[in-house]
Chains A and B, each alone.
Chain A
Amino acid sequence: QVQLVQSGAEVKKSGSSVKVSCRASGGTFSIFEVTWVRQAPGHGLEWMGEIIPVFGTPKYAQKFQDRLKITTDELTSTVYLELSNLTSEDTAIYYCARCFGSQSRTNWFLPWGQGTLVTVSS
């Protein structure tokens, strides 16, 4: 059974960058499709981007296109999210999730990581 374990909470200054990791255990990592979703305090879920390690080419939501980088390390079965030029509006819980069926009518996320709180202060 696949599990996703994320790195711990981060506190960052405005203008800096943060890198969050998501390590997978179980399953064949290279064919996973992994997505990143964030949730600001009191708000809903927001899709940020995704990657399939074997292809290596990430896709980003337009909102984050110029400051988001999603990468993978197949040796450690880890996906990374790096967000730069942070502002207080980036304060949120960041989740990774494995996604299925992204090119079909039936699609879903399972499992989710436990979440990583990123706090941005001025």
Chain B
Amino acid sequence: GEDVEQSLFLSVREGDSSVINCTYTDSSSTYLYWYKQEPGAGLQLLTYIFSNMDMKQDQRLTVLLNKKDKHLSLRIADTQTGDSAIYFCAEGVRDDKIIFGKGTRLHILP
């Protein structure tokens, strides 16, 4: 079945890079997503990547996709305190449905 796995916690020092990893199972996924959820807030679409791409860069965010291994990563350069949040990896499956991972809680150390 469809499943998205990601580690639950990540601690990073302010100014360092954060790398959040994710694996998915549906090889027919056309789009893969990263959403951000700050405490008490809804989900913010951070970025997405089409399945025929290897990399996408958007300012401090870099998404890497290894379709062969079904591995997706999100790199946040120069991590700031405002980046503290839960980051959800998600895959787009049929009929516009999205399957979410459990989320990675990113904690920023001073």
A, B bound: no
Residues of A within 8 A of B (CB): none
Residues of B within 8 A of A (CB): none
